[in-house]
Chains A and B, each alone.
Chain A
Amino acid sequence: MLDSVIFYFFAGIAVISAALMVTRRNAIHSAVFLITTLLATAGIFLQLRAEFLFIAQIILYVGGIMVLFIFVIMLVRLDVPLPQIRSGLQKWIALFVALTVGVEAGVVIFLARKAPGQGLLIPNPAPADKLPPNTEELANSLFRSYLLPFEIASVLLLVAMVGAVVMAKKRTEAP
C-alpha cells in the first residue's frame, strides 16, 4: 500500500513537472522543472530498489548534466519574448501523431496486462527484503559481464569531452 502511494506520488510529480518543463516559456524554468522530474524519477528508482541508480541519477543528472544545461542557458541569449512554441501545421500534426503513438502503446500495454496469470501481471519479483545488496550486485555484473561495454562507454565519454571542448572553443580568426 505504502509502495503504491510512494509510486503515485513520484509518478505524479514526474509527469506534472515534465509537462511544465515542456510548456514553460523561460528556459531556466524549464530546466528547474526537468530537475524536478529527474529527482522524481530517482524516487521511482529507489522505490524499485535500485539504490545505486538512485544515487547515480541524482549525482550525474541533477548534479552534472543539469548544471551544464544551466551554464549553457546562461551563456546564450534567450529570446524569451519570441514565440517558443512552433506555430502552424507541424505542431498540430505532431501533437496528433504523438497522441496516436501514446494511444497505440497504451492499448498494447493495457491489453497485455488483461489476461490473468499471463503476461505482465505475473512477474515474479523477489520480495524487497530478500534482495541482495544492490550496489554489490550491480558492480559484479558491470565488471564481470559488461566490462568491455563499460570501457567503451568511458572512451565515449572521453571523446565527447574532447569534442565538446573543441566545439565550444572560441574560434580564433585564421591567420
Chain B
Amino acid sequence: MMPIGHYLFLSLALFLIGVIGVITRRNVIIVLMSIELILNAVNINLVAFSRYFGDVAGQVFALFIIADAAAEAAVGLGIIIAFFHNRETVLADEMDLLKW
C-alpha cells in the first residue's frame, strides 16, 4: 500500500503546474485547460483519501467535481466564443473590461 503522502505530492505538483498555467499563459483556452488540471489534482486528493479512510463519499464528491468541471468548461468556452465574436481575440490580457 502506497503511503498517502505520495498522492498528496502528486496532487500538489499537478495543482502547481495548473496554477502556473493559469497565471502565465495568455491564451484563455489554455487557462481554462489549466483550471481543469487544478480540478483534477483535487480529484486525486479526494480519491486518495477516500481509499485510505474506506469511505466512498470522497469518490462521490470527485464525481460532482467532474460534473462541475464539465459545466464550467461549457460555460467558459461559450463565453470565449462570444468574446471572440466581439473582439476577435482570445488573449487574456486584452480582456480588461473588469477595470473600473
Contact = CB atoms under 8 A, between A and B. Distances in A.
A137 B58 CA distance: 12
- Of the four ranges (under 10, 10 to 19, 20 to 34, 35 or more), the interface on chain A belongs to 35 or more
Interface string A123-153: 1111000000010011011100110011001
A45 B33 CA distance: 20
A21 B18 CA distance: 9
Given A53-B59, A78-B90, A84-B27, A109 B77 contact: no
A23 to B, nearest CB: 9
Given A11-B6, A78-B27, A106-B9, A3 B19 contact: no
A52 B4 CA distance: 20
A53 B65 CA distance: 11
Contacts of A101: 16, 19
Given A41-B40, A160-B75, A167 B81 contact: yes
Contacts, number: 239
B69 A137 contact: no
A105 interface: yes
Contact of A50 (B2, B47, B80, B84): B47
A15 B17 contact: yes
Nearest to B92: A86
A89 B94 CA distance: 17
Interface string B45-71: 001101111101101101110111111
A149 B32 CA distance: 25
Interface residues of B, number: 71
A173 interface: no
A102 B12 contact: yes
A173 B62 CA distance: 42
B52 A15 contact: no
B50, B54, B59, most chain A CB atoms within 10 A: B59
Interface of B: 1-10, 12-14, 16-21, 23-27, 29-30, 32-34, 36-37, 40, 43-44, 47-48, 50-54, 56-57, 59-60, 62-64, 66-75, 77-82, 84-85, 88-91, 93
25 contacts: A4-B2, A14-B10, A21-B33, A22-B17, A34-B37, A44-B10, A45-B47, A48-B47, A50-B47, A50-B51, A64-B70, A72-B80, A73-B29, A84-B26, A91-B24, A94-B23, A98-B19, A112-B5, A125-B1, A125-B51, A141-B59, A141-B60, A142-B60, A160-B72, A164-B78
